[in-house]
Amino acid sequence: MRNEGEGCRPGCGACCIAPSISSPIPGMPDGKPAGVRCAQLTEDNLCRLFGDPRRPAVCERFDYDRELCGDHREQALTLIASLEAST
């Protein structure tokens, strides 16, 4: 549900922290648990693997969705963590 003209918030990184990722990530061969920063997330909350073929497929599927990302980073972290807990 992407709205035209909207996109990921630069430096948000919520989808690289809140959800668990079961597939291998460079630096995290067993994936990552929910609530843990991805090893590929920079201090500025940007993905080092963006556009890199080593980026996990699940990460490629994350896209801005107002219902999931809310209005700001803290809201995105809460909403994604809540979704993670319910699955």
8 A C-beta contact, residue 28 and residue 39:
yes
Number of domains in the chain: 1
- Asked if residues 64 and 2 have their Cβ atoms less than 8 Å apart, the reply is yes
List, for residues 14-73, the tens digit of each pLDDT value: 999 999 999 999 999 999 999 999 999 999 998 999 889 999 999 988 888 888 899 999
Location of structure tokens 């993670």: 84
What tokens does 70 get?
Answer: 């809310």
Tokens of 41: 């997330």
Separation between Cα atoms, residue 1 and residue 40, nearest integer Å: 26
| C-beta atoms surrounding 44 within 10 Å | 8
Enter the pTM of the model. 0.81
Domain assignment of residue 62, given as a range = 14-86
Would residue 4 count as lying in a domain? no
Q: Residue 82: inside a domain, yes or no?
A: yes
- Is 60 exceeded by the pLDDT of residue 1? no
